[in-house]
Structure 1
Amino acid sequence: MKKCHIAYLACTAALIGTGLGAAPPVADHTVHVVHPGESIQQAVDAAQPGDTVLLTYGTYHESVDVRTPGLTLRGVGRGTVLQPAAGTSTGSTAPSTGSGSAKDSKDSKGTEAASSCAASGNGICVVGTKDHNVDDVTIAALTVTGFAKTGVYATEADGLTVRRVTAEKNGVWGIATEHSVHGLFRGNTARANGDAGLFLANTVKEELGATDTEGTVVEHNRLEGNRIGVTVRRLRNLTLADNYLTGNCAGVFVVGDENKPKAGFVTVRENRIERNNKSCPKTARLDALQGTGIVLTGAEDSLVTRNVIRDNVGKSPLSGGIVLFKSFVGTTSDRNRISDNLLRGNSPDLVNTDTGKGNTFEGNSCRSSKPAGLC
């Protein structure tokens, strides 16, 4: 019988396939076990589609490029920690503009792009190209911390799953994707990152219309102490549900611009958004932030419903529980529905400074609004 790296997984599969004549063949996927002091990248490079690279408990000092479809890279929980290699900068002094992208795609196979991603200050990179997506990669059960840019970064990824990852104290984003579809982000913690804890975008380097994510889901995550908890930038067809956001300067941003199609068809439901009162200074792209629950700007046909939004208080133009805000480039928000939310102690609970058409506020439990009459 073929030798298996972990007997109870790979060899059991082989036995089932050979011992039961009527059973269909079972793929012989390998588990590559890595211990602190050993190279994660070497194990990832040796892996085949469908394999798992398992990181044991301890601290690893390296960045990792993942280009193999169907690969699972996972640890054993928060005690599996990835940090920058010795001598590289940490994220503590990196700018928090949210404008840095890891993408630098020159090679059709993504090799050079991935290498550039890791070398430029990101922790785990999942990098494909426009012609060759990296499909069905899973990153799970580990901590990425102290990287100058992003803890986990992906571009041109289809079916990426990130679950039970702790991304903290990274210079720009905790977990970020561009040009990616069918994503699932579940049960993660993103804390004290320079910009967004979770950043999902079409691209930050080109002026393009919003991308259809084809059903990306962000659920059951904890976003705490970032500049923004979750940013959804120039995307369509995405759901944020059952997340907990607290201690950020702003909880959720759904952002569009003047390009077509607009951002939209985003559902923000059943999240708990409390005390996002950290103060963040103005940047070249955005006013100072403090006391913001949810912002929709330049978005259309989106639904914000059944959220609990409490005690978000600040003096920013964007302060408030749920804020419908006219885009900084003059694009209106249209046909968005704000319904059945519970809002208490925000300053104010509901805000509408947009001049778009067809936006509705209905069934919300709230006590203050700007202009008056939205509650």
Structure 2
Amino acid sequence: MLNYSHDWRLVLAAFAIALMAGFTGLSLTRGASKLDISRRKSVVSMAAVALGGGIWSMHFVAMLGLQLPIFYFYDGLTTLISALVAILLTGLSLLILHFRPRSGTSKALAGAIVGVGISLMHYIGMSGMELCRPVYTPAGVFGALAASIGLSILAVRVAYSDRGRRNIVIGTVCFGTAVVMVHFIAMAGTAFEASGDQTTSGPALDNETLALLVTLAAFLISSAFLLTSATFAPNETPEVAKSKDGAKDHLVKDEVVPARDAKSVIRIPHEKEGRAYFVDASSVAALRAEGHYTLLYRGTESLFCPWSISEAEERLAGAGFIRVHRSFLLNPSHVAKFERNKDTAECQLLEDPKTRIPVSRTRLAELREVLGL
């Protein structure tokens, strides 16, 4: 077996890549669940490339920092496959988080998929070594898999327990630490032996040059995604509203509903005395399921709508409405007061303070994010 060591400059660069990728992916997906389907898919795709590509880039840079007493290099096709596995499994976990109810089970499943992706990416990438053969121990493989799944579940739970800035930063640290720790836990259970003809010529670029190029590419991709799609700008600052006595007693997020031109205004039908009428969706505060139909809360009125709650959720996805309960859709721009009650909450409406909209436990984090809490 061969003795080996690591170039710690490349190890630090790998850790920096993991942090950058984690912050980019978690920032991109902040608020994605309230976007319409096509925009949400686009954001999730970019985040999958950032997170999955970051996982692979971290691993590859760290492996390029591996110092062995013999010459070795990596097969290009195998290396590409390892990168695609990381991106695809990361994308699958993000689909679960942003296209399904965000429960404890879904978070654990998403974290487990990311963890499996990290381990698969690592061992597929290692199998691409040329002129040097890795030898694994069962304990090393099991330890790496257990660590990757456990740490990834922890990272997802932290980042998605509350989608605020603090949790994104903490989740980023958890994510970066998870990827780096899994890599070195796996390496601790791996030995190397020479294989093949050592006179074989390798790629034109040496390992250090490749590491520099991969690091630069990872940072450029993450930076581009952050600059074009993610923001922590002041326009997220909530507007402080006042009650009738002038006291500042509740928060309403500014500009929750995206601006739309006249041609794209969404109108909701309601029926009265056998006739159909239409109202602008922005004037509706909430919808409540009523059997196979819904009731619209508009001002102090309750109007009968022929849509089911599921149909309304699909049609109003681009109008800023979010599902806060199995029986309620809410327009956050009409929220006057948010009141937490242990694991659930209630929202009071601006136009009709007597109406309270319940918020279920599984929808609480998403609503708090939208309201800027």
Does TM-score exceed 0.5, indicating one fold? Answer: no
The structure number with the bigger radius of gyration is 2
The structure with the greater share of residues assigned to helix is: 2
Name the TM-score, length of structure 2 as normaliser. 0.21
